[in-house]
Structure 1
Amino acid sequence: MIFGRVKPLDAILATAEKRGLHRSLGAFQLTMLGIGAVIGTGIFVLTSEAAQKAGPGMLLSFVVAGFVCAVAALCYSELASMVPVSGSAYTYSYAVVGEILAWMVGWALILEYAVGASAVAVGWSNHAVGLLRGLGVAFPASISNADALMAHMQIAFGATPNVDLQTAMAVGGWVNVPAVIVVGFVTWLLIIGTTESARVNSVLVLIKIAALTAFVALTIPVAKATNFDPFLPTGGVGVFGAAASIFFAYVGFDAVSTAAEETKNPQRNVPIGLIGSLVICTIFYLLVASGAIGAIGAQPVTTAGQVLAPGSAEMAGRCASIVATGVTEPLVCSKEALVHVLDTIGWPAIGRLVGLAAVLALPSVVLMMMFGQTRIFFTMARDGLLPEKLASVHPKFRTPHVVTVVTGIAAAIAAAVLPVGKLADYSNAGTLFAFFMVAVSVMVLRKTDPGRKRPFRTPAVYIVAPLAIIGCVGLYLSLPLTAKLVLPIWGLIGLVIYFGYSRSRSYVGRGIFDTVDDPAMQPERAKPLD
């Protein structure tokens, strides 16, 4: 039965009650928390990708993605306030719709966190290499991207060789070493238990906001209306395609909803924090995108009238050919879009500072994404759905070192060989599925357990939750074909593992419902394996 093996909500809540977290956060603190969690990934990394898909119409894409995030966040908040424990959407699903769907959500979250960390690592690499170039240090292209490797793979799988592919093979690289290095560094930090203090995090937030404010202040005054024409070069399909990618730029807002247990008057302050942070971030994104478009234009690059796929080897080759002619590099070709815009309009020094801000801020995003992934794995292992070894804790550092190493290796491999746009789209596929299940769960729980205490209630839930579901499905269908295929293929692999290994070893399936709040403790074995 698909809704069988539901983990009792009371058993899960026992952990939250043992915590007894103090309610001290107000609406302002929650809004700042959300801004700090959201700004810093997509806007630095995905601006050029979005421009290639939608041109100036990416302004509408930011609005679409922000709206879907807002309605999903309201659903997320109700469950987070009811079940304020580790495990995120996986734990919520386990308590509402049962083990198998919870497993699928946890499995999909790997795409959100681990693959998302890889995407940010590649974005960091692009900015780090650009910063070194600005300082006169030439980092070899052969080990700072995988464009040549992608071109060879496309030809090996049947693509017809053309000028763009040949150019990519000639000037592209084979592996992204800087991205691997930053993933390795973050993995090491997570193992030894080094965490960011609130003060350091606040400084990084201020650096990000200052850099983006400077960008807006310098680009908006020189914006030209002609650069916005045509506004929709790829039509509505391009707008929604870019929105599906830009969705990545908003991931992180769930940090607000997971703080519901520590919030004063969560019924009022959680929605203010959520919607407030998303509105402010959306306005920031629109201003930055408007400045970039208005300053140098953002029309997609085409070949024979066809818009090339961002991140493809053909795109890399075409961009290399354009730059080789001596013209200014188009915005859609830049791997550090904001820095490139400032360089082009005569502010190279400020551009370097913006690049430095990205280099300083993005590793913290990689860290938080990998932290989230290891804790999802850890929770699933403690539920018996993954090998117990993954839940083992380092005797000295008291961190889940095995699962951290496994996550780090997987993230490093993905970052080494895939472009940032493809990684972001793969990550979004998993995130959209998780948010879809959260929206379903909040409606199911309203029917199955209407008397349960809800510190925060999703307003107009039977309007908001369906809007979240429709939005998630719509954005998923707007993803590129490969990204759409990743989710079902990944899900099929997950089902094979679930029925071949996890189902027979599940603690809930074996009648074990003990919940502990010490991450170093394991559930007691109340019943042997069948």
Structure 2
Amino acid sequence: MNSWRIKSLDAILATAEKKSLHRSLGAFQLTMLGIGAIIGTGIFVLTAAAAQKAGPGMMFSFIVAGFVCAVAALCYSELASMVPVSGSAYTYTYAVMGELMAWMVGWALILEYAVAASAVCVGWSGYVMGLVENATGFALPEFLSAGPAWSMNGFMPVADFTHGFINLPAIVVAAAVTWLLVIGTSESAMVNAVLVCIKIVALTAFIVLSLPMINGENFTPLMPNGLFGHDGLGVIGAAASIFFAYVGFDAVSTAAEETKNPQKNVPIGLIGSLAICTIFYLLVAAGVVGTVGAQPLMVNGIAISPDSAEFVTQCRALTEAGNAPIVCSKEALAEVLRKIGFEQIGNMVGLAASIALPSVILMMIYGQTRIFFVMARDGLLPEKLADVHPKFKTPWKVTIFTGIFVAIAGAFFPVGQLADISNSGTLFAFFMVAIAVLVLRKTDPTRHRPFKTPLVWIVAPLAIVGTVGLYLNLPMVAKLVLPIWGAIGLLIYFAYSRGHSHVGRGLIEVHEDDKDLPPPPGTT
């Protein structure tokens, strides 16, 4: 059987009409879902790490990462408006470059969605446990509030259970979000809209209070680690890491099959959410740098990695001495407000982050389940996973399966470099989408495109170069994970998926004489 077989766009659209999800989302809900997916751990948690890597130059890091996302978003918008079905980059790749590459993209997207969701679960756990302890004095035993520390012994991972065994709060939040997604997309979207508003209010409060107190001297030296530093440091290295702050906008395209008037609303949701978040990020970064400074910790004049044991040791010593810089903070925005005299509002921003971070988990699991749903519908995964609940109209089996995976990873693994690992999968998916746009312009130029990527022969190559450039500037561990994960995916594909593929077996799910029939009752 040919692993490069292509599923035509007509077949993809016809299959979606036959076995579609309930269309209930509009442009406003999609934009809110996009903002909910984007604003979260990246800006609330990773700002300090970005400052350690780039210093005040993290302003440029946000711009670089945002630019790569913008050109990728334009490519996504064209394909999502043409092919308004679940599956995102997986579906587009299947139609353009064939089944094997589509499988690899879908497999890589697990690194984007599931690993990112697990990372946010762990981040949420830290925020909430800290707030509870400060308010009531109660603290979970360490072995119930943190997973083990992991290290490498050669090529073997080794767990150290000295300071933790299982992260119970991470399991709780993963289970709660999974249940919410099972009961229905529209319900999840409404809850998410409330959480998005909380995040926007918190960031707006930070901006309003911090910007008037900016001191221009805090912006010098502007790039203490240079443009390209060592070990993932520097402006571009920080951009590769804080790319995680933008991860999630493409999850809007995975909701295309559940969107009313997707040709119009999907591009609005994609580009609108990205534009709003980029503006917020730049203003927040300016507030952090301008008020308290963002110079990195140095050893012998050389910056150290925020993931290193040496960095943790230095930060612990400075914290005990009462003069830790903002690069050491795990709650940078709240800490900035406390340092400039707004202690109670800083605490409220921390509370807002704790309340709102579940919306990021929601969108990550949401996006992952829709990828799995369409892969199972194509036969590449067990078809029973694609069952839609008769009452809730959601792919409940695959949602529960994904939630269990996220809960396990959140329970037993630290945040650490999960953001960078997630980025590697995301950048690969973006890379493939940009190529797919160009290929489709050549192979199917007459197909109706409700949204056309402007200057596509400039924008798409910029997306390709940008994604490759950021990937090459990730830490070495993150760069190695993608090919190793891909090798595991290939084994699964050739052992199961290749033989069960509907296209490979010649199964025609929607025949020519009925492909134009309306979807089953309850799905429109």
Q: What TM-score do you get using the length of structure 1 for normalisation?
A: 0.85
Q: 1:356 is matched with which residue?
A: 351
Q: Does 1:125 align with 2:120?
A: no
Report the alpha carbon displacement of residue 141 of structure 1 after superposing the two structures with TM. Answer: 7.4
Structure 1 partner of 2:43: 43
Partner of 2:222: 231
Task: State whether residues 39 and 360 of structure 2, in contact with CA within 8 Å, keep that contact through their aligned partners in structure 1.
Answer: no
Q: What is the SS of the residue equivalent to 1:235?
A: coil
CA distance in 2, matches of 1:509, 1:177: 43
Alpha-carbon distance, 1:134 to partner: 3.3
Structure 1 stretch 111-120 or stretch 196-205: which is displaced more? 196-205
Q: How does 1:114-193 map to 2 (within 5 A)?
A: 114-140=114-140, 142-143=142-143, 149-150=149-150, 153=151, 156=153, 173-193=164-184
1:322 to 318, 325, 335: 318
State the 1:303 CA deviation: 4.2
Give the Cα separation in 1 of the matches to 2:391 and 2:34: 33
Q: Quote the offset at 1:477 in angstroms.
A: 0.7
Instruction: Spell out the pairing of 1:435-454 with structure 2 (5 A cutoff).
Output: 435-454=430-449
Distance 1:147 1:181 in 2: 14
The match for 1:243 is 239
| Cα contact 2:32–2:192 (8 A) shared by 1 | no
- 1:5-48 Cα deviation digits (max 9, x unpaired): 1012111112555679999967x887666444432342112111
Q: Aligned-pair distance for 1:113?
A: 0.7
Q: Aligned residue for 2:210?
A: 219
Match of 2:249 in 1: 253
Question: Where do 1:345-384 residues align within 5 Å?
Answer: 345-384=340-379
Find the counterpart in structure 2 of residue 101 from structure 1: 101
Indicate how the Cα distance of structure 1 residues 312 and 451 shifts in structure 2: closer, same or farther if over 3 A, else same.
same
Aligned partners of 1:204 and 1:286: how far apart in 2?
21
Say if 2:507 is the partner of 1:512.
yes
Amino acid at match of 1:131: L
Which residue of 2 is the match for residue 497 of structure 1? 492
CA displacement 1:230-275 (0-9 Å, x = unmatched): 2212111211111112212112323555677745984xx8766644
Residue deviations 1:423-464 (CA, integer Å, cap 9, x gap):
111111111111111010111111111111111111111111
Contact kept? 1:7, 1:95, Cα under 8 Å: yes
Which piece of structure 1 moves more, 414-423 or 444-453? Answer: 414-423
Q: How far 1:417 sits from its partner (Å)?
A: 4.1
Measured on the aligned residues, the alpha-carbon RMSD in Å equals 3.3
Amino acid at match of 1:7: K
- The letter of the residue matching 2:90 is Y
Q: Give the corresponding residue for 1:162.
A: none
Aligned residues of 1:148 and 1:313 also touching (Cα < 8 A): no
Mapped partners of 1:195, 1:320: distance in 2: 45
Q: Distance in 1 between matches of 2:25 and 2:377?
A: 30
CA 1:107/1:272 → structure 2, altered by over 3 Å: closer, same or farther? Answer: closer
Give the Cα separation in 1 of the matches to 2:281 and 2:335: 17
> 1:342 corresponds to which residue?
337
**Amino acid corresponding to residue 127 of structure 2 in structure 1:** H
Q: Distance in 1 between matches of 2:432 and 2:179?
A: 33
State the alpha-carbon separation in 1 of the partners of residues 286 and 142 from structure 2: 33
Name the structure 2 match of 1:423: 418
Give the partner amino acid of 1:360: I
* Structure 2 letter corresponding to 1:478: N
How far 1:490 moved relative to its partner? 0.4
Distance 1:24 1:520, change over 3 A: closer
Aligned length: 505
Which residue among 450, 459, 465 is the counterpart of 2:460?
465
- Counterpart Cα distance in 2 of 1:303 and 1:322: 14
* Farther-moved stretch of structure 1 (423-432 vs 197-206): 197-206
| Identity rate, percent | 65
Structure 1, unaligned runs of 5 or more: 160-167, 522-530
Aligned to 1:307: 303
Check conservation: 1:7, 1:513, Cα contact below 8 A: no
Matched AA of 1:322: L
Render the CA deviation track for 1:45-92: whole Å, top value 9, x for unaligned. Answer: 211121121111111011001110110011111110111011111111
Deviations 1:289-313 (A, max 9, x none): 1111222222223445553332444
Question: CA separation of 1:412/1:462 partners in 2, compared to 1, >3 Å: closer, same or farther?
Answer: same
Q: Tell me how far apart the structure 1 counterparts of residues 457 and 450 of structure 2 sit (CA, whole Å).
A: 18
Q: Is the Cα contact below 8 Å between 1:56 and 1:298 reproduced in 2?
A: yes
Amino acid corresponding to residue 440 of structure 1 in structure 2: I
2:231 corresponds to which residue? none
User: Does 1:281 find its partner at 2:277?
Assistant: yes
- Equivalent in the alignment of 1:206: 197
SS across alignment from 1:490: helix
Q: Amino acid of the residue matched to residue 318 of structure 1? A: Q
Offset of 1:470 from its aligned partner? 0.4
Picking from 275, 289, 293, the partner of 1:297 is 293
- Return the letter of the residue paired with 2:133: R
Q: What does residue range 387-398 of structure 1 map to in structure 2 within 5 Å?
A: 387-392=382-387
